[in-house]
Structure formats: structure tokens, C-alpha cells
Structure 1
Amino acid sequence: MNKPAELATVIDNFLPSFNSNHKLPAYKMRTLDAIQKCRTEYMGGHIEACPKCGDIHEAFNSCRNRHCPKCGAIDKEKWIINREADLLPVKYFHVVFTVPHKLNSLFMRNQKVLYHLLFTSSWEVLNDFGKTKKWIGGKLGATAILHTTGQNLNYHPHIHFIVPAGVLMANGKWKNARNRGKYLFNVESLSSVFQARFVEQLHLLKKEKIISGWIPNGLFEHNWVVYAKQAFGGPKQVLNYLGTYTHRTAISNDRILTVDDQKVVFSWNDYNKDYQKQISSLKGEDFLGLFCQHILPPGFTRIRHYGFLSSASKRKSLAIIRHNLEVTNLPESNTLTWQEIAFKKMGIQPGICKCCGGEMIIIQTFTNKFRNNHQRAPPENTKPLEVSISISTQ
């Protein structure tokens, strides 16, 4: 039987030869192992049956790894719902900070430290601009997400920010950004300050021997790319766009077109050609190597909240801002179960028979075949039945 064209098949086919030449670190091997075994008999699972029509369905547990293309859909929708509850009735900006490609090698050698530096330096620049009276003069808020790849899987570290177009003043008043929130900051000024601060911190880390590797020359030959545009489709559209990347990394299975014993063929959108769809073919080991570049260091937080949206001050700050903006329809906290989210957002009805619409019941569970921390429990609020039922399979 032909294997499906998916990331797990790429790992099956090419990990032994790739690892024999490159010797991946243990945390990357654990990630690949989880993806390889996700939703297979190795993870354990359950058998559910419909007493009404007799349909029987076998379901295997998921690995819950944040890099797995089969996992994260529910977590992504939960994230979007929770972030929508934080939205204010103001304009929003989508801001992106990017480092030049000549730093890629240094980033690869020092991922955890330099990803953190990318977060802190870009936020400090935004925060300082927000506090400056020339621009606004108060406390800014932002949600930041680390991306490490473009559509073609090449290594490309950058930070996306979602920024409300205004600040919370010291007197508790909300102040819109320039031109009633239609203009945030000058991107050339953002770029030059970010460039100078990042390079300064880079040399300091090198001097203190916190990072290893060579810092390339010519980092000031060209301006670094900083993007800051108003979210014309609205902040919800930006949240949905970024939500695609919050709980998945690098590539989804639907973009992997074919996998054989030699190569991988995948699709991607070329931003430089008006998002035209492109098809690329790579040797299997090369494709796997590109994917492995985007496996994050263990425990690294790739979604962060700053300013008045930080965990420490968000609840109080949003209440003050909403009162100041005379918001009467306050958002409710998310009370949806994962089953309700699956149905409302994805059109899936867990626990419902696809044949007749009856309620499925779990008649058997089975444990995973290897001992690690990847196993996921059966669906919430369901337990194996300890009674015998007769199911017709004809």
C-alpha cells in the first residue's frame, strides 16, 4: 500500500540517511519521532461505536507536538477566540521585524538566545516609540509571534506584531496614534533604531561569550526590513492569518504533494510574484533538513504579549481602556468545549456518527506501544464502557 504524502512519510523515508550524516540533537529527534508516530497505533487510542446503526470507528491519539501538522487545530482556534476577546474598538497595525539573511548562520548556531534577542529588541523599539511624545507618548500594547520560515521552507527568522493604534496614558486615558490611529510610526525610523540596537546587543553577547560563531561584516550596508501596515481587513483578519502559524510550524500536510524514495514535491506561494502558486521538488534529505531548521528549542515561548496586553496587566488595563472608550458590550470569556469549537470553527462533530447522526460511544481503549510523554488521552468527558454491546457490521 502506498504511503500518504505527508510529513510523517518524509520522516519514515529519509530520517535514517539524514541523521547518519548530520546527527540531529536529541530534542529534534524527539520531535520527529512524535510526528512520525502521531495518530498511529503506537500512540494508543480507542474504538467507538454507534448503537443506532452499528458503525464502528477506530481513532488513534495525537502527539500534541507543536511542530506536528496533524495537531494544533483546536489549540489554534482557542487562541484566536481568546485573542478576539482582547480586541478593542480601535484601529490595529500589523508590524513585522526582519533580520538580514547574512545572520542566518549565526541564528542557527544560537537559536534560543538570538530568538529571544529578536523578541526583546523589536519590542523595546516599539515600546520606546510609543512612549515618545513625538509619536504618541504612553504605554503601548502588542502581541508578538516568532516565525522562522517563508513559504518555500527557507530559514527566515522574523517577528510579527499585532499592535493597537494607540496607547494607555498615565492618567488612564486612551490616546489614538497619529491621524486618529491611521498612522503608527515611521518605518524608516523603526528600521534604523532596530538595526542599531540589535547589532549592538549582538556584539555584546559575543563579547560576553554568550553566543558562538562569526558576526558577519556589512550589517549596516542596507536598511533592515520593517513592515508596518494598518490591518485594513480588520484585526480579526490578522488574527486568523497569524493563527495559521501559532500552533504549527513550517509546512502543512496539504502542501506536500508527493513523497517517494528519492524526493519530496511540495507547493508554496511566491510573495514576490503576487502569491502565485509554485511547485518545488527537493531531495528527501534536503527537504527534511529544511524542516529541521524550524524545530524550536525545547521550552521556547514563540507567542508573547507586551505592554498593556502582558499577562501581568492585561485584565486591569483593558478594563480601564474600555471604560475610557465607553465600551458597553464587554466580551465574554471563552466557555466553549473543544467539541463545540471543533463544530463551530471546523464543521466537525466529535462523538457523532457520520453515517446516521447518532451518538458514538467508546467501547474499548488501548494504550500506546512505547513509553514516552507523547500519549494523549481519549476525548474529554468520555470513558470506556464496561458493558458488552452487540454491534452489527453488515
Structure 2
Amino acid sequence: MQPAYELATILNLHWERANEQLALNGWQWRTLHAIRRCRTAALGGHIDQCDSCGHLRISYNSCRNRHCPKCQGQQREAWMAARQAELLPIPYYHVVFTLPEAINQLALYQPAAIYGLLFSTAWSTIQSFASDPQHLGAQTGMISILHTWGQTLTLHPHLHCIIPGGGITSTGQWKSTRCKGKFLYPVKALSSVFRARYVAALRKLFPEQAREFFNQLFVTPWVVYAKRPFGGPDQVIEYLGRYTHKIAISNHRITGVDAQTVQFRYKDYRQAGTQKEMALSVVEFIRRFALHILPKGFVRIRHYGMLSNAIKQTTLTTIREQLTPMQNRAQKDEHTTELSVPIEAVCPCCKKGRMQHVMDFDHRGPPMEIVNRTTSMIKSTH
């Protein structure tokens, strides 16, 4: 179902006003400009043809920007397919590391440093607990996904982590966690270690900051939230689909746009996730969205330990060989989820054929003979 309103429409309608009132950096403007031109004539397009009935479809190109609401579907499907092939028949845990609001001011001016430190400190904390024989005594792994937003588009940096319930010992043996599926590691201990290490690293990065600032960071507990383990690989895949390529706000959450304001839905987690609506001025809405445009080249999905790209093929093969054939067979039979063929690949006319790429065109548009032929096909079906 097509959304009633789009971020691109808001940007196009109020581009000049945003330019006059917002002090964004060049990369943020470049990203917003790509989003507002996505799937328009400005980016050119391509022509697909059904390999069964010959139906022609003319489409404008997407901007492929990772912050664009319209460009995440195909990237998400491909990424999920790769992760699905790597899943093991073991418990997986979901842990969330959240930075306190006091650090937001630094994140505004040094986002790469603050977010990079969030990744490294979270992994350092998990790695320490995993290597401790009291908890596991093995090398574990982690997939981390950075989100920087809250439901109302305010700055709320936090890291969603998927962690396997076990690891590889120094002798190359698989070892499961001792928690019997109830929890991964003690949450309070995780929180304390995470806070201490992050603040210590922050002092080195920002030695000019006053001592009072760092002391303030120890006043309130930091949030490390550990959810119950996933019910199986199906739930892991479903979770990855929801979170990996998510952006600050989807087009479907936008409920109204006028000359002055933008209205959108959000969940109020202070009231049990109650659905509410908020109205912001157009410029404030664009400013809040721009807060979540990551620095150029910043990697927001990272793999660590035995799940890192450098060694995961070897480690995953070793683990599978040690797990019983019965477990592997049950995993395959019960939990393998077939990823559906992308909707855009299925012919909208006959519903049987696959759309195949046949031609590209630039901003001047497709050849007139193709346009006329497509128009004739559409008329003949009505």
C-alpha cells in the first residue's frame, strides 16, 4: 500500500525554506537532495519487460541512499538472505546498549567519534564477559546495528546487538552459555562495565571537557537492556528484517502535511507503547530528520568476534561440524524461512513472469515508441 505522504514531497515543497533556516553540513544537504530526487526523472530510469507475457514497465531510478525511506527494501532482503545462511541451531540473544542524554551534545558535533566508541565499547564489554570462565570462557560473536533516533525523531543513540548463546574455546570447541536460556550475562554488571569503559575512553577523546561533565555521567545508571532469547532462527530473521535497514522515520508514519507543519505517528513507550500523533513545523521536522544522517562512510552494521567477516566462514563451519546432525536437520526443517521474491520482480500483468531489465534512459525520459507501446498495452487491459 502506497503511503499518503512522503519525505521526498516534504523536502521538495519546502527546500528553499530549509536552505534559508537550517545550518546543516554539506553531507547532510547532499543526502537530503538525493532523497528528494529519488525515483524521479532527475535520476533517469529503466525499462523492464516480462519474460512471459511481454508486458513493459517504465520505472525511475532510486537514489539508493541508506537514509531514504524508499530504498531499503531490496538491500534488506539481500542482507537478510546472507545472514540466514550463517545462522546456527543455538539460542541468540538481543542486547541493547543506550547512551545517556548528557552525551547528545557531543554526538551532534562529533558523531563519528561518539558512535564509533559506542560500537567498540559495547563489543569490549561483551567480549570481557564471554572470556571470563565464570560466564562462558570462550570467544563469542556479535552483530551490532546502530540506531540514533527516538520515536519523535529526537537524538537517542543506541546499539541493538544480536549475540549467540555460546562461543569457541581456545582449543576450538563450541561451548554454550551457562544461563540455560534464561539470560546472557548479568545486566547490572554489564551496565556498570559499559559505563566505566565508555567514560574512560571519552575522557581520552575529549580531554578539554570539564571534570564535572564526566562526573555527571556516573550520577544515573546507564541502560543495558537484555531481552529474552529469540525463540529460534525464524525470530532472528524477523528481527533483522525490522531493524537492520530501518531509518529514522518511514513514509507510512507521516499522516499529514500542510504549508506549515508535518504530522506523524509515534509510540509513547512511557505509556506502554500507546500510539500518538505529533505535529512539528516543517523546518523542525527536516532538522530532526537530518540529525540521523550518519557521517559519510560510517558503517552502521558491524560484525565482531567469531561472526566477523574475516573469520566467520571458518568458525561457523567448525561449529556446525561439532553440533549433532540431528540439530542441524531440525534447524533446516523447522526454522528455515524462504525469503519471498521481491514484489517488483513479479509481472503486474500476468502475475507469473519475471520482469527483466531491457533498457536504461537518462533525465530526458524513455524513447517515445516505448511510451506509446506501454500506453497501448495499458489501454488494451482495461
TM-score by length of 2: 0.86
Residue 299 of structure 2 is aligned to residue 301 of structure 1: yes
Of 364, 367, 386, 2:362 maps to 367
Structure-2 residue corresponding to 1:188: 188
Residue 117 of structure 2 is aligned to residue 117 of structure 1: yes
Secondary structure at the aligned position of 2:297 is classed as coil
1:112–1:359 Cα change, 3 Å: closer
**What is the CA-CA distance between 1:292 and the residue it aligns to?**
0.3
Amino acid at match of 2:349: K
Amino acid at match of 1:29: W
**What is the CA-CA distance between 1:321 and the residue it aligns to?**
1.1
**Partners of 2:149 and 2:156 within 8 A in 1:** yes
Aligned pairs for 1:174-213 (under 5 A) are 174-207=174-207
Secondary structure at the aligned position of 1:96 is classed as strand
Aligned pairs for 1:84-99 (under 5 A) are 84-99=84-99
How far apart are the structure 2 equivalents of 1:196 and 1:363?
57
Amino acid at match of 1:61: N
Structure-1 residue corresponding to 2:83: 83
**What is the CA-CA distance between 1:359 and the residue it aligns to?**
6.4
Offset from partner CA, 1:289-313 (integer Å, 9 cap, x none): 1100000000000000011111111
Aligned pairs for 1:8-87 (under 5 A) are 8-48=8-48, 57-87=57-87
1:312–1:363 Cα change, 3 Å: closer
Amino acid at match of 1:265: Q
Q: Give 5+ residue unaligned stretches, structure 1.
A: 333-339, 371-377, 379-384
How far apart are the structure 2 equivalents of 1:51 and 1:239?
31
Judge which range, 245-254 or 141-150, deviates more: 245-254
**What is the CA-CA distance between 1:364 and the residue it aligns to?**
5.7
Structure-1 residue corresponding to 2:345: 350
Give percent identity, aligned residues only: 42
Secondary structure at the aligned position of 1:230 is classed as coil
Offset from partner CA, 1:3-61 (integer Å, 9 cap, x none): 95110012113332223222211111111111000001111113456799886542101
**Partners of 1:91 and 1:230 within 8 A in 2:** no
Secondary structure at the aligned position of 1:178 is classed as coil
Secondary structure at the aligned position of 1:75 is classed as helix
How far apart are the structure 2 equivalents of 1:362 and 1:189?
54
How far apart are the structure 1 equivalents of 2:240 and 2:57?
34
**Partners of 2:5 and 2:256 within 8 A in 1:** yes
How far apart are the structure 2 equivalents of 1:247 and 1:105?
25
Offset from partner CA, 1:213-253 (integer Å, 9 cap, x none): x9465111111000112234334324423433322420111
Structure-2 residue corresponding to 1:132: 132
How far apart are the structure 2 equivalents of 1:37 and 1:108?
26
Amino acid at match of 2:174: W
Judge which range, 183-192 or 172-181, deviates more: 172-181
How far apart are the structure 2 equivalents of 1:89 and 1:156?
33
**What is the CA-CA distance between 1:272 and the residue it aligns to?**
2.5
Secondary structure at the aligned position of 2:79 is classed as helix
**Partners of 1:93 and 1:229 within 8 A in 2:** yes
1:200–1:369 Cα change, 3 Å: farther
Secondary structure at the aligned position of 1:318 is classed as helix
Offset from partner CA, 1:162-200 (integer Å, 9 cap, x none): 001112111121111113343311010000011011011
Of 267, 270, 273, 1:269 maps to 267
Secondary structure at the aligned position of 2:265 is classed as strand
**Partners of 1:103 and 1:215 within 8 A in 2:** no
How far apart are the structure 1 equivalents of 2:51 and 2:164?
52
Aligned pairs for 1:104-253 (under 5 A) are 104-207=104-207, 215=213, 217-253=215-251
Judge which range, 273-282 or 176-185, deviates more: 176-185
1:143–1:369 Cα change, 3 Å: farther
Amino acid at match of 2:67: H
Secondary structure at the aligned position of 2:218 is classed as coil
Offset from partner CA, 1:246-289 (integer Å, 9 cap, x none): 22420111111111111111112222322221111111111111
Amino acid at match of 1:298: K
1:44–1:349 Cα change, 3 Å: closer
1:55–1:90 Cα change, 3 Å: closer
Residue 7 of structure 2 is aligned to residue 7 of structure 1: yes
Amino acid at match of 1:367: D
**Partners of 1:144 and 1:305 within 8 A in 2:** yes
Judge which range, 42-51 or 102-111, deviates more: 42-51
TM-score by length of 1: 0.84
**What is the CA-CA distance between 1:87 and the residue it aligns to?**
1.3
**Partners of 2:254 and 2:264 within 8 A in 1:** yes
**What is the CA-CA distance between 1:104 and the residue it aligns to?**
0.6
**Partners of 2:155 and 2:291 within 8 A in 1:** yes
Q: Give 5+ residue unaligned stretches, structure 2.
A: 333-337
